[in-house]
Copies of this chain bind each other. A is one copy, B any other.
Amino acid sequence: MRNLSRHILRPLLIVLAFVLGARAAAPDPLPSWNSGPVKQSVVSFVSAATSKNGSGYIAPEDRIAVFDNDGTLWSEQPIYVQFAFALDRVRALAPLHPEWKTTQPFKAALEGDMAALQASGEKGLGELLIGTHTGMTTEQFAGTVANWLASARHPQCNCPYTDRVYVPMLELLSYLRANGFKTYIVSGGTIEFVRAFAEPVYGIPPEQVIGSSFVIQFKLGADGKPILMREPRIDFIDDGPGKTVGINKFIGRRPVFAFGNSDGDQQMLEWTAAGSGPRFAGLVHHTDATREYAYDRTSKIGRLDKALDEAHAKGWTVVDMSRDWRTVFPRAGTK
């Protein structure tokens, strides 16, 4: 036994200790996620997707992952970031539009009358977006958004809006890409607004951003050079069932992985989950009034009601923000 111990068991123990040590030392790809069934469901899915001979294996070309943006990758409270941009643009453009002082919803926007703005409903929101997002070239508008993102500050953190991203979701995007997934944003926001920051903030290039859009028209400018003009008409609304249509149009393949946070993501999750083979459908449930916000079934922004019921019924992964996320925002401090 002594010899056995010296010649076989000891080296074996050393090897075992080395293997376990190496495993323990492997960095956690999702350090901002607390351990538990939610984190485990993500890791299990991705591990299986990349294990060639397992039943959860997914061919590299099918590793398509889609994410909602507002409320899923960054905060949508107290108002959508794009709405904050639109309000700032109304103020900036007001001198060119004296009629706005007496026309709704612009009057309400200029006076900061949120009740009147809300009362103007979807029609009012559409008019506000058309008044501030169209009538210029695509390049002019991209410049305006970039300037705004660089200078505007979120009212609560006094930080850039792009600091209102969720660290756990940044980790998840990186983790998926490191495992061969192609990550897409599928946003109800307008496409060029999200494209203005998706690459530096999320590592997602413009061609992997799908969103709502205005009609664009090719024209020849005064100098004879071609330009693309943003026309005052809605082209496509990438929300609810529209998200599945957008995915089919832009990607042409059904995703295997989808993450959302509201009823506007329900059909995208259903469409993803209904494919054959392994599937992941996830929801961010905003349960953290201390570090972010707590809202769901009755919220005017990001209402999560029917999709939450469906998630429970179908066993989708539901992130409980206060329980599952160790960190929320990149900067510590007040929400």
Q: Let me know if A218 and B245 touch, CB within 8 A.
A: yes
1/0 contact string of A152-193 vs chain B (CB within 8 Å):
000000000000000000000000000000100000000110
Question: What class of interface size applies to chain A in its complex with B?
Answer: 20 to 34
Contacts of A195 in B (CB 8 A): 252
Take A226-B274, A228-B245 as given contacts and tell me if A252 and B217 are in contact as well, using a CB distance cutoff of 8 Å: no
Assembly CA distance A250 to B228 (angstroms): 14
Binary flags per residue of A249-262, CB closer than 8 Å to B gives 1, else 0? 11111000000000
**A78 → chain B closest CB, angstroms:** 29
Task: Report B-chain residues with C-beta under 8 Å of the C-beta of A267.
Answer: 218, 226
Which residues of B have CB within 8 Å of A274? 225-226
Q: Pick the contact of A226 from B207, B252, B270 — CB < 8 Å? A: B270
Asked if B251 contacts A206 (CB within 8 A), the reply is yes
Of the candidates B61, B206, B242, the one whose C-beta lies within 8 Å of that of A205 is: B61
Is the CB–CB distance between B213 and A250 below 8 Å?
no
Instruction: Tell me the complex Cα distance, A61–B104, Å.
Output: 42
Contacts A/B (CB < 8 Å), 15 sampled: A61-B199, A195-B252, A206-B253, A207-B207, A207-B250, A207-B253, A209-B252, A213-B249, A218-B241, A218-B242, A218-B245, A218-B271, A226-B244, A226-B267, A228-B248
